[in-house]
Structure 1
Amino acid sequence: METHFETLVKGLYEKANKIITIFLRENHKDGNSKINIPKDFKEEFFSLVDKVNLSLMEDKDNFYGYFLFQMSREIRFDISSPTAVNFKGSKYVVYFNPIIFLTLTIKQMESTIKHEILHIVSMHLIRAKECKVEYGTLAVNMAMDVVVNTYLDHLPPYATTLEWVNLNYSLKLLPFESFEYYAEKIQTAIDLLEEDEDAAEDDSNKDEKIETDYNPEKTHDIWEDSSDIDEKTLKEFTEKFIDDSQKGNIPNYLESMISSLKNSKAELPWNLYLKRLMGTVESNQKKTITRRNRRQPDRFDLRGQLRSHKAKIVIALDISGSISDEEFNQAIKEVFNIVKNYNHEITIIECDSEIRRVYKVKSVKDIKDRMNIRGGTKFTPVFEYANNNKVNLLVYFTDGKGEDKLLSIPRGYKTLWVISGRGDKLSLKEPYGTVKKLNTIEIKDNTLYTSDLMRDGYSMNNQEVSHV
């Protein structure tokens, strides 16, 4: 006999399918691109979510219930998982796809909500961006899911678990490792598959507004819609959510995660971030007979590929700002140290309210004395130059004081803003890039990634004893 909860779920599922049917019919007629979700459906659906939340708050892991209570809630039919999260305004938002969510039992519903909250506590929304510099979206998504699902019971049958990854990719990964470790191993396994990328199923005709099945490669796409917020601020918001959710005892693994978050450094220094960013510079490929094809190494008739592209890097210096010659010279030395292993071309732009001088450099010795001009500051001219010169990477040193809106939007390149140690923040409301503070941190090439991962303090190596 069905319980009241099961009857409620069944009725909502039928209504959700009706909403989709109406949308597809209307969209076919007039090209309407917005799904109309009736108010009564939203109220009934979120009433069911309240029941799940109540169950969480009554559980020994009531931390998750109190955390969910603080989050905003929205319905999205275009996410390819039961739930998803991002950060909007000053709150975390949890999204539900009713078509997928309503196929779960109440315990599985609880687990998928816990899953999203563990991503937040692990600061995956930030760490994934850095990890995607080196690895593909699928590998990063599966690696993060492996980490958080290790601690959850009652998972949906399609959940990405350590056992599933080991079985499907012929791996022998151990539990309680960092997600960066899993990402590297999974990416290697993906690269070794003999499936040609072009053989992937073509789903171009699928309606982009509706997802009815779980897709691990797209589960965290909604993270890209998060508000543009720096790592330090997001960490502070996350700690507040956590503090307001701790109303009793919490599991050992969760306590350890929270401790790691609070003891970790707020953000990656600008120079270490720049080194990560260099890995994203697009490179053209040239064929070579000396290297086998990565995806099909046994095919001797297929040639491998090598990078042949010269990265065009622009270093913009705001000569009207408060950055000193000493600060800039030290920063430039670090830039050269970072890019030395890449085929690169560096252009220096001196600017204030307009571009005053442009010249190329091959070493620190080529840096010229700064022009003695102290006008106002406008960022737009530099972006106009970059847009017209096929730049790959723009690093802008400034005190941050300029326009509040760019008149020329960056096209096809990465931007890193480095704010002078005496500067406060960037005046732009939308920076179209990452904003970092200038500080003097020594770089050692051979310790970057090891120290950076240890910096996070999220490795699960110390969690095994406390696993519940």
Structure 2
Amino acid sequence: TADKVKTADTHNGWQEAKASRQVSNQVVRLANIKRLLTSSWKQTPQRDRGLLPGNIKSQLQKACQTRIVDWRQILRRQFGLLARGQVESHARFNRRQPLRMDLPGKVTRLDPAVDIFVDNSGSVTDQEISQTLTTLEKMLKKTKLTASVYSFDAQVTAKQKLHDGKKLDFRRTGGGGTSFQCIFNYLHQHHLTKRNRIIIIIITDGWGEERINNYHYQNVYWLMMTKANQLSVKEPPGRVLEMRG
């Protein structure tokens, strides 16, 4: 009995839990430091940057660099998750790294859908639109998913189906100014719920309004014909991707 009491009173495992918390806190500290350095570097006037030592300047420039990712690879992965009946969600913990709150988990969804909205403003060329839709069509063909392709400028003007075995005959309609709000208004007004409408893809040059009401649609991918920082929407929902190459 004495041995059992002695075993129960030990603090085994406390050090491991403490070490895990320290690693997690260290990640948060490093992220905050990087954010502070990036903000300070952007606020430093150009004339004052020459007063910094060379090694410090190189480290600050390295911290401000944006990692370029392949938009095809990201969407291909999302389509694969849809084909398996899964989708990423921040409402669920990541099973492999549950302490990383920035990593989404996976949840099972039924009735998967892909909605593609194409900017019909005059600044987006027909060639760019055609190439992008052809690439998406090939990606969807491998996963055997169907998609709805919408045209929009100041409002959503047309709808077509994009699926395996059917050639998409996309034609520009409208061509006026761009309003991103009309996309989310359309989704909301037609009762296309967040549970069923899984992926929203917006192909655009990014020139529109600054503020939108996204009605809590978060699984949005902005495919930019220009630089990612040229998207006019402040704090856009989802992820902004550059279509370089």
Shorter-chain TM-score: which interval?
0.5 to 0.7
Helix, strand or coil at the partner of 2:146: strand
Match 2:69 to one of 259, 264, 268: 268
1:341 is paired with a residue of what secondary structure?
helix
Does 1:386 pair with 2:198?
no
Structure 2 partner of 1:417: 222
**Cα distance in 1 between the residues matched to 2:28 and 2:181:** 30
| Equivalent of residue 127 in structure 2, options 326, 347, 359 | 326
* Aligned 8 A contact 2:228 2:240 in 1: no
| Alpha-carbon distance in 2 for matches of 1:377, 1:339 | 27
* C-alpha contact 1:310 1:344 (8 A) present in aligned 2: no
Counterpart position of 1:408: 214
Q: Deviations over 1:379-409 (max 9, x none)?
A: 1121233343231101101110111111233
Q: CA shift at 1:283, angstroms?
A: 5.5
Per-residue CA deviation, residues 338-393 of structure 1 (Å, 9 max, x unaligned), is 2223241210110011111122122562232211x222211112123334323110
Alignment of structure 1 residues 103-182 onto 2, 5 Å: none
> 1:349 touches 1:356 (CA, 8 Å); kept in 2?
yes
Map residues 316-465 of structure 1 onto 2, 5 A cutoff.
Answer: 316-363=117-164, 365-371=167-173, 373-387=174-188, 388-389=191-192, 390-411=196-217, 414-421=219-226, 425-440=230-245
One-letter identity of the residue aligned with 1:93: N
- 1:92-125: CA deviations, max 9, x gaps? 416xxxxxxxxxxxxxxxxxxxxxxxxx8xxxxx
Q: Which runs of 5+ in 2 are unaligned?
A: 1-19, 43-51, 87-107
1:267 shift after superposition:
1.0
Tell me the alpha carbon deviations over residues 237-267 of structure 1, each in whole angstroms, 9 at most, x when there is no partner: xxx9x952999xxxxxxxxxxxxx89x9931
Aligned pair partner of 1:244 in 56, 77, 80: 56
Q: Matched residues, percent identical?
A: 22
What is the CA RMSD across the aligned residues, in angstroms? 3.9
> Is residue 83–residue 143 contact of structure 2 (8 Å, CA) maintained in 1?
no
The match for 1:250 is none
Letter in 2 for 1:370: R
Q: Normalising by the residue count of structure 2, what TM-score does the alignment of the two structures yield?
A: 0.60
Q: Which amino acid aligns with 2:243?
A: L
1:86 Cα deviation from its structure 2 partner: 4.6
Q: Is the 8 A contact 1:322 1:422 kept in 2?
A: no
CA separation of 1:86 and 1:267: change in aligned 2, threshold 3 A: farther
How far apart, in 1, do the equivalents of 2:58 and 2:131 lie? 45
Aligned-partner SS, 2:130: helix
1:81 is matched with which residue: 9, 21, 28? Answer: 21
Distance (whole Å) between structure 2 residues aligned to residue 265 and residue 380 of structure 1? 27
Rg larger in structure: 1
Cα distance in 1 for residues equivalent to 2:175 and 2:27: 45
2:137–2:162 CA contact under 8 A, matched in 1: no
Match of 1:103 in 2: none
- In the TM superposition, what are the counterparts of 1:197-236 in structure 2 within 5 Å? none
SS in 2 for 1:244: helix
**By how many angstroms is 1:310 displaced?**
4.8
Aligned length: 180
1:384–1:265 Cα change, 3 Å: closer
What one-letter code is carried by the residue in structure 2 that aligns with 1:428? V
2:32 is aligned, of 83, 89, 93, to: 93
AA of the residue aligned to 1:432: P
Q: Is the 8 A contact 1:386 1:410 kept in 2?
A: no
Structure 1: distance between partners of 2:68 and 2:228: 17
Cα 1:283–1:429 change in 2 (3 A) is same
* CA distance 1:308–1:404, shift in 2 (3 Å): closer
Other-structure match for 1:135: none
Does the C-alpha gap of structure 1 residues 85 and 316 become closer, same or farther in structure 2, counting only changes over 3 Å? same
Please give the secondary structure, in 1, of the residue aligned with 2:150.
strand
Cα separation, 1, equivalents of 2:210 and 2:142: 36
Distance 1:354 1:270, change over 3 A: same
SS in 2 for 1:317: strand
Secondary structure class of the residue paired with 1:359: strand
Contact kept, 8 Å, 1:310 with 1:343, in 2: the verdict is: no
Preserved contact between residue 83 and residue 145 of structure 2 (Cα < 8 Å): no
Structure 1 segments, 4+ long, off by >6 Å, are none
Letter of the structure 2 residue corresponding to residue 407 of structure 1: N
From the superposition, tell whether residues 265 and 279 of structure 1 become closer, same or farther in structure 2 (CA, over 3 Å).
farther
Query: Are positions 1:314 and 2:144 aligned together?
Result: no
SS of residue in 1 equivalent to 2:143 = coil
Residue segments in structure 1 that go unaligned for 5+ positions in a row: 1-79, 95-119, 121-225, 234-239, 248-260, 286-306, 441-468
Alpha carbons of structure 1 residues 319 and 393: separation in structure 2 relative to 1, 3 Å? same
Contact 2:141/2:163 (<8 A) preserved = no
Give the AA of the match of 2:172: R
Offset of 1:330 from its aligned partner?
0.9
TM norm structure 1: 0.33
